[in-house]
A and B are shown apart, each in its own frame.
Chain A
């Protein structure tokens, strides 16, 4: 049996590397794509040594949209699975005051990821198989005062993934939306996150593999988030705007 290949976009993030380890342990070959992919050389050696799989590194800039088609055409093989872990939280206060900062957050979380998944989705559609995993966020489920720039971009990405799934479902291509909730990563280092709501990157990776194997559509990582978001979505806007949440 030939081995399957997973492409991981935004591969330098903690979640992406945990996903890489998860699929490597399951015997998948990997394509790791990120800006300055050369900095992943140690990770490549480690994954190959531990798991006896093949790993290739690819320079990839989610914001350089004009290069996305060429990027996909240039991959050594069209992967069986894509996990998009591209994202950038930015600084909400800066985003409020500086349109350029806000646009960067929006492009990094919506435009860039949607663009590359559109190209890959078309290639998968032509082949008639494949799985696309987009890591979005619970922040996209409702606009909150403290992170709505990031949240609005993630909302766009979540809607994009939903639409892509519904279009490609008839073509043998599956799309998974991941809404991780809080994750203890470099991005959230130093933030005071509630322990029960905060997943480790390895939990996210395990949840993603399980979702891929079981062809789930939308997943949270820790179940408690389903209830948290149920409550948050149920609060009337009239009340929500008076809350500090």
Chain B
């Protein structure tokens, strides 16, 4: 059947199995070239193996919860949305969350996702206590910081290429309410945005949304958004009586593919201008619900269709502190000159936390995420952005990648060769493989 990632590019013909129990899972794994697939929210071809894609939907059980530590043990196919639905009413929230709640536990571990609190709390790895991993022979290994520590380290951020993540123990954080106290500041330039993020190190959550079509003096103009979990004292009226309840959220959906022509420089410019204007007017502090704050795009079901039938690609890199400003400036200028436009341009300052993930994406500095519809010229633009990233000692986020070359990855990240050699040594290559790992020679 045809499979793709969230970006709907590339679309590949793949054999897909959905084992129902451990024995069947073991059989699938022993067939070779296996990759686990969760909810298909990585953007490119990370969760597609043409020969042997293993859907984890039947491994969706929550197994245990310890209310004294906030530790949840669950199978890899459990959705983050389900974790929130079950535990937020009891006063617990994910310690680290990516920008969508429609991801599985296994997917979050494999990509070692990060959230708006990376500068303080590190990546998802920081809240993972242990993982049960199935090897190429079908045997299970408990991996943690103390037990099979090497395997644990390579599995966090290992893109599913070290084995099948079957179960994990993750820690949730206690919260008093489901509300976030959001502070929005407008920053008229990239420099101002970076200064605002640096100055907000104390904030639990911080992120900047960039109007990536700003040029000249307005290059990098942004809305910097900070957030804190609201306490009970901050609520009043019906909210205070029921601090975890949210009103029903209005759902929009994109039922059909937008014609590609709809998304052109003009519409993106209009959208960005409007968003910026709205943000500037709404600058200041207010309470917002957790869903709208952490998962704004989840409210628009099927938003990936807005880019049309040919799909879209994401670009996300991280740049070290010394070269970040020059690198970001070059990336934004190139994007803006190409007039390619990106609805979403997100800038985030990464912290220095040294997590256990040996192949994790985050590193101290800044990360920039952009997306582009697939059309003539996109590939050339992406190549340009790759080159700029390399010139500034940056690295790339594999969960977003759909088209990078093996050479680019190798140049960007000295860990690549170590990961490849380790996979071969530990019998993971070619037992576990995705279209992405083949392309990137991992």
B20 near A186 (CB under 8 angstroms)?
yes
Closest chain B residue to A50 by CB distance? B86
A50 near B62 (CB under 8 angstroms)?
yes
Q: How far is the CA of A50 from the CA of B74 in the complex (A)?
A: 11
B329 lies within 8 A of chain A by Cβ: no
A49 near B64 (CB under 8 angstroms)?
yes
Q: How far is the CA of A156 from the CA of B43 in the complex (A)?
A: 51
**Residues on the A chain within 8 Å of B64, using CB:** 45, 49
Partner of A42, one of B63, B65, B82, B85: B63
A80 lies within 8 A of chain B by Cβ: no
**Residues on the A chain within 8 Å of B20, using CB:** 186
**Residues on the A chain within 8 Å of B286, using CB:** none
Closest chain B residue to A48 by CB distance? B62
Contact with A along B226-247 (1 / 0, CB 8 A): 0000000000000000000000
B61 lies within 8 A of chain A by Cβ: yes
**Residues on the B chain within 8 Å of A49, using CB:** 62-65, 86
User: Closest approach, in angstroms, between the C-beta of B74 and any C-beta of chain A?
Assistant: 8
A96 lies within 8 A of chain B by Cβ: no
Chain A facing B: main interface SS = helix
A202 lies within 8 A of chain B by Cβ: no
Most chain B beta-carbon contacts within 10 A, residue among A43, A46, A51, A186: A46
**Residues on the A chain within 8 Å of B82, using CB:** 50
- Which residues between 226 and 273 of chain B lie within 8 Å of chain A, taking CB atoms? none
**Residues on the A chain within 8 Å of B85, using CB:** 50
B63 near A45 (CB under 8 angstroms)?
yes
Closest chain B residue to A186 by CB distance? B20
Chain B facing A: main interface SS = mixed
**Residues on the A chain within 8 Å of B60, using CB:** 46
User: Closest approach, in angstroms, between the C-beta of B193 and any C-beta of chain A?
Assistant: 40
Closest chain A residue to B82 by CB distance? A50
User: Closest approach, in angstroms, between the C-beta of A55 and any C-beta of chain B?
Assistant: 12
**Residues on the B chain within 8 Å of A50, using CB:** 62, 82, 85-86
**Residues on the A chain within 8 Å of B75, using CB:** 42
User: Closest approach, in angstroms, between the C-beta of A73 and any C-beta of chain B?
Assistant: 31
User: Closest approach, in angstroms, between the C-beta of A50 and any C-beta of chain B?
Assistant: 4
Q: How far is the CA of A45 from the CA of B20 in the complex (A)?
A: 17
Q: How far is the CA of A126 from the CA of B63 in the complex (A)?
A: 38
Contact with B along A164-202 (1 / 0, CB 8 A): 000000000000000000000010000000000000000
Q: How far is the CA of A50 from the CA of B83 in the complex (A)?
A: 8
Q: How far is the CA of A186 from the CA of B85 in the complex (A)?
A: 27
Q: How far is the CA of A10 from the CA of B64 in the complex (A)?
A: 25
User: Closest approach, in angstroms, between the C-beta of A54 and any C-beta of chain B?
Assistant: 15
Closest chain A residue to B63 by CB distance? A45
Q: How far is the CA of A74 from the CA of B65 in the complex (A)?
A: 30
Closest chain B residue to A43 by CB distance? B61
**Residues on the B chain within 8 Å of A43, using CB:** 61
Q: How far is the CA of A156 from the CA of B188 in the complex (A)?
A: 75
Q: How far is the CA of A186 from the CA of B61 in the complex (A)?
A: 18
User: Closest approach, in angstroms, between the C-beta of A233 and any C-beta of chain B?
Assistant: 35
**Residues on the B chain within 8 Å of A186, using CB:** 20
- Which residues between 114 and 168 of chain B lie within 8 Å of chain A, taking CB atoms? none
Contact with B along A46-76 (1 / 0, CB 8 A): 1001110000000000000000000000000
- Which residues between 79 and 103 of chain B lie within 8 Å of chain A, taking CB atoms? 82, 85-86
- Which residues between 31 and 48 of chain A lie within 8 Å of chain B, taking CB atoms? 42-43, 45-46
Q: How far is the CA of A43 from the CA of B64 in the complex (A)?
A: 11
User: Closest approach, in angstroms, between the C-beta of B164 and any C-beta of chain A?
Assistant: 17
Most chain A beta-carbon contacts within 10 A, residue among B61, B65, B82, B85: B61
- Which residues between 46 and 81 of chain B lie within 8 Å of chain A, taking CB atoms? 60-65, 75
Q: How far is the CA of A51 from the CA of B85 in the complex (A)?
A: 9
Q: How far is the CA of A45 from the CA of B65 in the complex (A)?
A: 10
Q: How far is the CA of A186 from the CA of B18 in the complex (A)?
A: 10
Q: How far is the CA of A145 from the CA of B206 in the complex (A)?
A: 65
**Residues on the A chain within 8 Å of B65, using CB:** 49
Closest chain A residue to B18 by CB distance? A189
Q: How far is the CA of A68 from the CA of B261 in the complex (A)?
A: 66
Q: How far is the CA of A45 from the CA of B62 in the complex (A)?
A: 7
**Residues on the B chain within 8 Å of A51, using CB:** 86
Q: How far is the CA of A46 from the CA of B65 in the complex (A)?
A: 10
Q: How far is the CA of A46 from the CA of B75 in the complex (A)?
A: 10
User: Closest approach, in angstroms, between the C-beta of A45 and any C-beta of chain B?
Assistant: 5
User: Closest approach, in angstroms, between the C-beta of B76 and any C-beta of chain A?
Assistant: 13
User: Closest approach, in angstroms, between the C-beta of B67 and any C-beta of chain A?
Assistant: 11
Closest chain A residue to B60 by CB distance? A46
Q: How far is the CA of A96 from the CA of B258 in the complex (A)?
A: 52
- Which residues between 27 and 60 of chain B lie within 8 Å of chain A, taking CB atoms? 60
**Residues on the B chain within 8 Å of A46, using CB:** 60-63
**Residues on the A chain within 8 Å of B86, using CB:** 49-51
Q: How far is the CA of A42 from the CA of B75 in the complex (A)?
A: 10
Q: How far is the CA of A186 from the CA of B58 in the complex (A)?
A: 11
**Residues on the A chain within 8 Å of B62, using CB:** 45-46, 49-50
User: Closest approach, in angstroms, between the C-beta of B139 and any C-beta of chain A?
Assistant: 20
Q: How far is the CA of A239 from the CA of B408 in the complex (A)?
A: 68
Q: How far is the CA of A43 from the CA of B60 in the complex (A)?
A: 9
**Residues on the B chain within 8 Å of A45, using CB:** 61-64
Closest chain B residue to A45 by CB distance? B63
Q: How far is the CA of A45 from the CA of B60 in the complex (A)?
A: 11
User: Closest approach, in angstroms, between the C-beta of B94 and any C-beta of chain A?
Assistant: 15
Q: How far is the CA of A49 from the CA of B67 in the complex (A)?
A: 11
**Residues on the A chain within 8 Å of B61, using CB:** 42-43, 45-46
User: Closest approach, in angstroms, between the C-beta of B169 and any C-beta of chain A?
Assistant: 13
User: Closest approach, in angstroms, between the C-beta of B7 and any C-beta of chain A?
Assistant: 25
- Partner-A contacts on B (CB < 8 A): 20, 60-65, 75, 82, 85-86
User: 14 A-B residue contacts at CB 8 Å?
Assistant: A42-B75, A43-B61, A45-B62, A45-B63, A45-B64, A46-B61, A49-B62, A49-B65, A49-B86, A50-B62, A50-B85, A50-B86, A51-B86, A186-B20
In the complex, given contacts A45-B63, A49-B65, what are 6 additional A-B residue pairs having Cβ atoms less than 8 angstroms apart? A42-B75, A45-B61, A45-B62, A45-B64, A49-B62, A50-B82
The 5 closest A-B pairs by CB, nearest first: A46-B61, A42-B61, A50-B86, A49-B62, A46-B62
